[in-house]
Amino acid sequence: LAFFVGICLFDKNLMRVQGVRVMSPSFADLRCITSAQDCIRQGHDPMVSNPCDPWNRPFNYPRVWLLLEKTSITENDTFVIGITLGAVFYICIIAILIPKKNRNDTIKWILVILSPAVTLAVERGNNDLVVFVLLSLSLLVFRCSSRITGFLSYLLILLASVLKLYPFFALCTLLKEKRK
């Protein structure tokens, strides 16, 4: 079932049927991040001007994303990163969200996964997918309920918050914790 859903979600024709405008080259949001790394290496500030981006869009994410310049990631890696990110995103959805006991709930979650909003996020390689994966991993680690895994869970939430502000509110889980 997961394999079938995965194939459907990466199918460009299915995306068009859902009303998602497929962009070329693919993974446009992710490409803004990867092309910015190329621009930095060429001496440009991609937040001012990003001539390496196929659409010449300025970089509009938090500067922490620009630390990827220290890696060997380039715009040429966008497709592989995008497919990998999408696959990990779906694995997290299956691991976290899809109930395993109730068939009707499982069918409802599959319909949510196939919704145009989710499909658009995957097609664009939106950075919210990275945040979702980090928060999902945080939840999985948190469920192990030991002092070390709890600390790791909060570190993952903090990392997600640095990449995008709204995960900071996931730290509200601290409110239910006993003082240690």
Query: Is-above-0.75 flag for pTM?
Result: yes
Q: What is the pLDDT of residues 9-64, one digit of tens each?
A: 566 666 777 777 777 888 999 999 999 999 999 999 999 989 999 999 999 888 88
CA distance 5 to 172: 33
Q: What is the pLDDT of residues 107-159, one digit of tens each?
A: 777 788 778 888 889 889 999 999 999 988 988 887 776 767 777 887 888 88
The distance from CA 179 to its chain's CA centroid, rounded to whole angstroms, is: 32
| Band of pLDDT at residue 96, cut at 50, 70 and 90 | confident
Output the CA–CA distances (angstroms, integers) from residue 79 to 10, 25, 37, in the order listed.
Answer: 12, 9, 15
Residue 82 CB coordination number (10 Å): 25
Residue 102 CB coordination number (10 Å): 11
Q: Report the pLDDT value the prediction gives residue 178, as an integer from 0 to 100.
A: 61
Which amino acid is it at 87?
A
16 phi/psi in degrees, rounded to 5: -65, -40
CA distance 64 to 164: 10
55 phi/psi in degrees, rounded to 5: -110, 10
How long a stretch of residues is the chain?
180
